[in-house]
Amino acid sequence: MKSWLRYAGQAVAYAAFIALLGFFATAPAYSPIDPDAAMIKLSFVHVGQRKVECRKLSPEEIARLAPNMRLTLDCPRERLPVIVELELDGKLLSRRELAASGLSHDRASSIYQKFVVPPGRHLVAVRLRDSARTEGFDYTRSTEVELKPRQNFVVDFRAEAGGFIFH
């Protein structure tokens, strides 16, 4: 093959290669959700109350313990599961019973959930139970929110801050 033809062939091959690179490095554009939709994220890390209440040890029981391990209370480690509900416009979006993590179920319960919702005015209500009660909830909060397209509405929870936090 003539040398100019070879060089032209190489130029075409390189051009095709960089066109492939240049195009697929940024295109086609990708949308993980509908660009006209909004998102609600429910996420928190919270330690439920103890499954068994602490019990005060008697002097005899304390005496039986090793001197360096003497405590006045016996507190079993296991934690209760945390129950959480999320409602949107009066309709239940999610109800989860979150087991405590850890081998002994003595650590925090956690959740991370996403919901794609239509934009517009919505009533968001959340409820959480972290105690041994069988009915009702320990924390509740609701709000009316105007969600814009692409808005990321976050529902967090921090007991020390008084309960649910909306971002």
Partner 1 sequence: MLKQIRQAGPWLLSRIEKMYSAAFTPAWNPFYHLGALTIFFFWVVVVSGVYVFLFFETSVTHAYESVEWLTHTQWYLGGVMRSLHRYASDAAVVTIGVHMVKEFITGRYRGARWFSWFTGVPLLWLVFPLGITGYWLVWDQLAQYVAIASSELLDVLPIFSDPMARNFLTNESVSDRFFTLMAFLHLIGLPIFLLFAIWLHLLRISRPTVNPPLGLVIGSLAALTGLSLLWPALSQAPADFSLVTTGIGFDWFYLLAYPLLDYGSPALMWLVLVGSSTLLCLLPWLPPRRRKPAAVVSLPDCNGCGRCVADCPYNAVSLAPRTDGLVYANEAVVDAELCTACGICAGACPTSTPLRRKSEFVPGIDLPGLPIRSLRDWTLAAAVQPGGEPGTRVLVYGCASGVNLAALRHSGVAVVELQCIAQLPPAFIDFVISRRHADGVLLLGCRENDCHFRLGVQWTDERLAGKRDPYLRARVPRERVATYWGGQVTQAEIASKINAFRARLRALGPYRPAPVTQSTYEVAP
Q: Which residues are near partner 1 by CB under 8 A?
A: 1, 6, 9-10, 12-15, 17-18, 20-22, 24-35, 37-39, 41, 43, 45, 101-102, 107-108, 110-112, 150-152, 154, 156, 167
Q: Select 96 or 107, whichever has its Cβ closest to partner 1.
A: 107
The C-alpha atoms of residue 123 and residue 145 are separated, in whole angstroms, by 6
Residue 83's nearest CA partner among 166, 165, 157, 154 is: 157
- Least distance from partner 1 to the Cβ atom of residue 45, Å: 5
- Least distance from partner 1 to the Cβ atom of residue 22, Å: 5
Q: Select 20 or 54, whichever has its Cβ closest to partner 1.
A: 20
In angstroms, what CA-CA distances link 58 with 25, 52, 61, 71, 74?
A: 71, 18, 5, 10, 10
Q: Is the peptide bond before 28 cis (omega within 30 degrees of 0)?
A: yes
- Least distance from partner 1 to the Cβ atom of residue 19, Å: 9
The C-alpha atoms of residue 138 and residue 32 are separated, in whole angstroms, by 35
- Least distance from partner 1 to the Cβ atom of residue 61, Å: 32
- Least distance from partner 1 to the Cβ atom of residue 127, Å: 20
The C-alpha atoms of residue 60 and residue 56 are separated, in whole angstroms, by 12
Q: How far apart are the first and last CA of the chain?
A: 68
Residue whose structure tokens are 């919505």: 122
Beta carbons within 8 Å of 165's beta carbon, 6+ residues apart: 155, 156, 157, 158
Q: Select 31 or 134, whichever has its Cβ closest to partner 1.
A: 31
